[in-house]
Amino acid sequence: MQRHRPSHIWLDVICAGIILSIGEIQIQALSEILTITLSIVVLIVGYAAISSWAWRHSATPAHGHLQYVRRDQQAINYRWISDEEDQ
């Protein structure tokens, strides 16, 4: 059996939050306000997890920095420099 990666765990948490909020399921022994608060917190954490995952898997290389390039007074450009290229 394969171990869960952190992104899969976050997706499980997101699904639980969606079930709690959309289905308006109240957990036994929890008040309605606490259930709503828990749902909102889970959705916020889930949104942060998706944003983090999307940022890590974007097309931007993992190691490097932007180099400021100014060719004349009107043209301002940036280009991506990998750490290997910079050294």
Examine residue 63 and state whether it is found in any structural domain, yes or no: no
Examine residue 87 and state whether it is found in any structural domain, yes or no: no
Domain containing 39 equals 6-56
What pLDDT does residue 17 have? 73
Q: How far apart are CA 49 and CA 13, in angstroms?
A: 10
Residues 6+ apart with CB under 8 A from 81: 64, 65, 66, 67
What pLDDT does residue 64 have? 57
Examine residue 84 and state whether it is found in any structural domain, yes or no: no
What pLDDT does residue 52 have? 80
For 3-48, write each residue's pLDDT tens digit: 545 566 777 777 777 776 665 555 566 677 777 788 888 888 888 8
Total domains in the chain come to 1
CA dist list (Å): 13 to 17, 50, 85: 6, 11, 40
For 38-87, write each residue's pLDDT tens digit: 888 888 888 888 888 777 766 555 555 555 555 555 555 556 666 655 45
